[in-house]
A and B are shown apart, each in its own frame.
Chain A
Amino acid sequence: MADVELTHLTKRFGTTTAVDDLSLAIADGEFIVLLGPTGAGKTTLLRLVAGLERAEAGAIAIGGRDMTREPPVVRDVAFVFQQYSLYPHLSVYDNLAFPLRSPVRGMSEAAIRQRVEETAHLVRIHDKLANRATRLSGGQMQRVAIGRALVRRPAIYLMDEPLSSLDAKLRSDLRLELKRIQAELGATILYVTHDQTEAMTLASRIGVMDHGRLVQIGSPREIYRDPVNSYVATRLGTPSINLLPADLLPADQLAVGTRTVGARSEHILISRVSGGLARGRVVRKEHLGGHVNLHVLIGGAEVVKRVDADTDFLVDDPVDVALHVPLCFDHHGDRLDAGGADANT
């Protein structure tokens, strides 16, 4: 394991800038999750670190050594691809042993066998070692793919949406396993996803990316409670944050110059009022099992709040809405009261 430092990294494909002057320092043992929509440059960044792409500008240092121009083989990184990319002509065992059999490592077959079996137990695939890689279910394949990275002890593990192709149940199982394994190995991981649950649960720090830039980096709690702009604010939280005109609703403590108010579910107070005084009404109830998303139409805007499943609000109920210490954004969408949310709660 080692720390990794990216400084002013830029990568262009033709006229589009995939990674734009990005700097990021990853400490040894950290689990960094990069969050962002498709096309934000997350995968390109991983490929730059791995040496699969060559940066136009900037530097990559791994374990204190400048690796900007080095080929993948000397960088000592492990990569889990979004697609399974198991070697289809090899068995599960040979897939796991493949990185260890590299001429640069020169391990004995006995040592390889031991390491492969350890890893197979770690990712719970030990009963399938003799299978052909193509004769596995999607979840098993992905576990082998993760295992093929974990079988090594590289400077850093790079993971490109490793769980995105799996169904929800398996995804949450593997998420827990991955966190457990990371803690067990003390591994340094740079992990890319567009799934906010993965980001929240796995990361020691989350980096939010947009158009090749790292917009904000911080602990999941910081990113959630103290986003630097409205873009970051919309990345986390279910239901998604409500972005409303500043004068729509009464609120306490709005910063000067606020154009847009960001109201998360917990910033919203819904109260029942009698007919004539109500400014809003419930237009929809989304039943999500453990809770209900209540959609309230008020002044032409729709506000969503998460409430208990046994709520007694009904569709068409007249209601009033108030905000309690919401996030304030200026006309660019930048935060005005940065650091304020923590101070007020």
Chain B
Amino acid sequence: MQTADKPYRFPDSHGHFGPYGGVFVAETLIPALDELNAAYEACRSNPAFIAEFEYELKHYVGRPSPIYHAKRISDSLGGAQIYLKREDLNHTGAHKVNNCIGQALVARYMGKPRVIAETGAGQHGVATATVAARYGMECVVYMGAEDVKRQAANVYRMKLLGAKVVPVESGSKTLKDALNEAMRDWVTNIHNTFYIIGTVAGPHPYPMMVRDFQTVIGKECLVQMPEMTGRQPDYVIACVGGGSNAMGIFHPYIDVPGVRLIGVEAYGEGLESGRHAASLTGGTPGVLHGNRTYLLQSEDGQIIETHSISAGLDYPGVGPEHAWLKDSDRAEYVGVTDQEALAAFHNLCHLEGIIPALESSHALAYAAKLAPTLPRDKILLVNLSGRGDKDMHTVAEKSGIQF
């Protein structure tokens, strides 16, 4: 385990987290990534950039997000105390917007008037469309044709915000194909286009840059938890699809001794069923979307289709820094099934009056398993990464209700 006397310094200058990460892209993208790298280095050390980012987070997003002691859930479980980091209260309803504001400000610094994004369920697309409207940028969102059908409300939201939504008909017609298509747009329109990637994946510097923008979550917790409880938590728990909300809350805790970091993957219909999206606990290392990381792939190295009730976790890869935290044992990765996540969803609704996103419900479900095994004075901090309004349709359908 990493301790305070051995500070954690990743990635290296080439974007490697141990054997993971890197820049696995075609030559045509290399100059664009070099340009982005230079721009981001200039921005991250510029006090005016940092001040504007913080101003936007405070006045536009509504940060800091509070931490809430979920007493009734904790009491019902009869063990450790559960605290929720309320990213669901952000403008647009999830943590995604933190990163979108950061990247839009970098895009503006670079003089790029057009932003593009990929989206699965539509949350990152909505967040990107939101900041594009806020900064007066043209916005194109790539979305798998299957997802466009499943997420009609979010498609309409993006259009209301002035974005163009392009359905992607290739491959499995889901998130990974939307990402491929966004990359193709970027390589064709590099001169005026900035690609806002929604998670801590992709070629360097994206995993580092997205992480940096999301660490506002964990940095706030470092201050808020001692204020509320007199100390740091024993466990920090977050769901992991691509892994941006988890990395945002984990990263500031990496050098804090005694805090266990637990990432919760989507086991879908069960790890054994093969129908899941658990890259870290059910996959093997490989190269996809510009980085080396754990992937769900066939024996022949083809990427396989994933399944999760939560569209935001339905991705066959994972951010390379999670791969490194797993291999170096600084973080632990587990999973919960669709059913377990749904049960946690309903519990939070009934006992705390909070409707969580299905993604975040995975973290809640694991906390609900862990809490009863621990004494009452232990503290679990769960990242409630988003709210569940977008999931009404999915949950209603599971309960046999049609709108």
- Say whether A associates with B: no
